[in-house]
Structure 1
């Protein structure tokens, strides 16, 4: 694994991440959220041609505690071969974004507590690394003891100590022949002192990069900004930085501005599951033209949408023969209409989720592409201000008011 930063703009950095499989991922970049190695609704054959940047996936070892278990994955030759995605990158992250889990609650000194398909289980470093080693991932995140923002200071200190201890154990259990592929987790909840202590101690370990854990567990946007900036000043600039637990476009821009490189986000999945399609503009120069062809704010409100998304369940789209987003080049927008997807949703056809996830994933990857373009032109500050002001003017709920 190799990582290089090419240029900076207003705190954001443009780089490239070379994974073990020979795949180069441009950063800031998005890992596709998966369940057992594949996106929730997109089959492998459609994933191959979804988007040029749809080549790196986030997978959680928690999904492989029962079936298929680590032994099955190892016999298949690793996760890439098991799911028939040998040309893709796989990043193992110890957080299950598709479940409503309370990671950290009930953690013991033996391991972290996670919600699984067979109930809550305590997973320690040995079991965790058994699954990770079976995966043969391109990158993997060490086992964290993440806690929500409301825990007591004593419990928070303990989570930092445990995460560091588990990092050392995980590093001792990784096969030497694979090289250094570990991202050490930085935790600390809402305590700035504990976040800094965690970052400083993790930076002394032999890790390939860092994963900022414990976000999206109750902190507000202002707290997150202060913590990210303080933590990142303590980490080596030449190593890659990943974060879990955030996903709204404004949150992504906040993290990119702080210097984060790699993201995994539940946002496209949750929109797809709810029957929504992303529609927010991606280009500062063409934004007014796209708005002129879209429904007004009042029309969107009546249909249950806003300037960021439209609700395809709404009767407002029953006879709408336009694509989800005019000018979008994804498979869904090139081949199908809003009316057709509205019909599929309301007749409970599985194809509805497949077409929506294709579009939502494509649109979000285009969002990251636009971010990288703004950094390349040294206009990230302008892009961020334009994007957030556009959302505020159009009445899109802020991250503190809505998780969609």
Structure 2
């Protein structure tokens, strides 16, 4: 029996309710995974994240490899004990961070050379090493090492990097720990035929789940959705589908309607620290002057700790004063919003009305509430 089961399929789309079985419990899908890049959801304790409803989070192999080091985390009992998190953890392979953060990188057949963004020290990461690092962290879902394909990029270079991702996936599969789930990653850039080819080759390797990578890298939104459709169409219906690094509430709903089960994105936590807050009536930039004496809660339809206890005026004051409490209260609210969105999505799938939810979020997503 596999790690994933489909409970219900929506009548009007490709959306489905599922259950993902991990060593640390069963997770209802579609699911959003808060991003704990350096073994921490910024500004919150693990208990607070759990109380918000999260049962799986994402941690970053690249960052933990550089600091404090996977060997140290292993000696201290693994990532769950290190950060005192009892839920599931998915670790990415570090491929995107090597591309986006490293001061220097050189991709070779064996792997990738890069210089740390912290101190300029040189490192090498191979598919086998990426799997070994994740095994040391003892996370529950491991991602294979892939090549990040920027946008735009010519066809020949895109094909080379996509084929290299497949060859690395073969090596990753052989090196993978048998104790954790392992997901393959589909690449292919913005070329439909390369996406289909990549998906078919990755599926042939028999992973526990499949991620769609290389989207939301600067391409137009409609192109992103088109490439997502192409990729998902080639994936098996009995395995979880993970869309990496996406995104806005509107994009999440659109992706769920196209068959995606799992999401991660820094948007709710990063936006919280920058003072952009999600509400049922659209986004709020809390620094705006007209919130200075606004006694209303951030969102009158929200039941989070922040909205139950504090006014917009107070939240603006904290943010303008750069008080640490501003980042905590904003993050609590934004993560609650995203996790509540996923609950609403699951309920809408049960009731075959996901299209109604999408229409509401698309209209509100274009607004900024006053």
Fold shared, TM-score > 0.5 on shorter chain: yes
Alignment of 1:46-57 (within 5 A): 46-49=48-51, 51-52=52-53, 54-57=54-57
Match of 1:274 in 2: 274
Deviation at 1:116, TM superposition (A): 3.7
Conservation of the 8 A alpha-carbon contact between 2:283 and 2:365: no
Say if 2:15 is the partner of 1:12. yes
| Structure 2: runs of 5+ lacking an equivalent | none
Match of 1:91 in 2: 90
SS at match of 2:147: coil
Match of 2:66 in 1: 66
CA distance in 2, matches of 1:158, 1:263: 27
SS at match of 2:24: coil
> Post-superposition, which runs of at least 4 consecutive aligned residues in structure 1 deviate over 6 A?
96-100, 102-105
CA distance in 2, matches of 1:97, 1:250: 23
CA distance in 2, matches of 1:59, 1:391: 28
The superposition leaves residues 46-101 of structure 1 with CA deviations (integer Å, 9 ceiling, x where unpaired) of 2232x22x12101110111222101111112211011011x211001135889992
CA distance in 1, matches of 2:310, 2:326: 11
Match of 2:46 in 1: 44
The superposition leaves residues 268-309 of structure 1 with CA deviations (integer Å, 9 ceiling, x where unpaired) of 023112112211x2xxxxxxxxxxxxxxxxxxxxxxxxx521
Match of 1:130 in 2: 132
Deviation at 1:215, TM superposition (A): 0.7
Deviation at 1:102, TM superposition (A): 6.5
Conservation of the 8 A alpha-carbon contact between 1:57 and 1:89: yes
Match of 2:332 in 1: 358
CA distance in 1, matches of 2:77, 2:187: 33
Say if 2:344 is the partner of 1:370. yes
The superposition leaves residues 368-404 of structure 1 with CA deviations (integer Å, 9 ceiling, x where unpaired) of 1111111110111222223324445x479xxxxxxxx
The superposition leaves residues 298-324 of structure 1 with CA deviations (integer Å, 9 ceiling, x where unpaired) of xxxxxxxxx521122222222222211
CA distance in 2, matches of 1:97, 1:272: 23
Count of residues paired in the alignment: 363
Match of 1:297 in 2: none
| CA RMSD after TM alignment | 2.3
SS at match of 2:66: coil
CA gap of 1:102–1:67, structure 2 versus 1, over 3 A, is: closer
CA distance in 1, matches of 2:87, 2:292: 37
SS at match of 1:170: helix
CA distance in 1, matches of 2:123, 2:297: 44
CA gap of 1:395–1:32, structure 2 versus 1, over 3 A, is: closer
CA gap of 1:263–1:327, structure 2 versus 1, over 3 A, is: same
- More off after superposition, 220-229 vs 232-241: 220-229
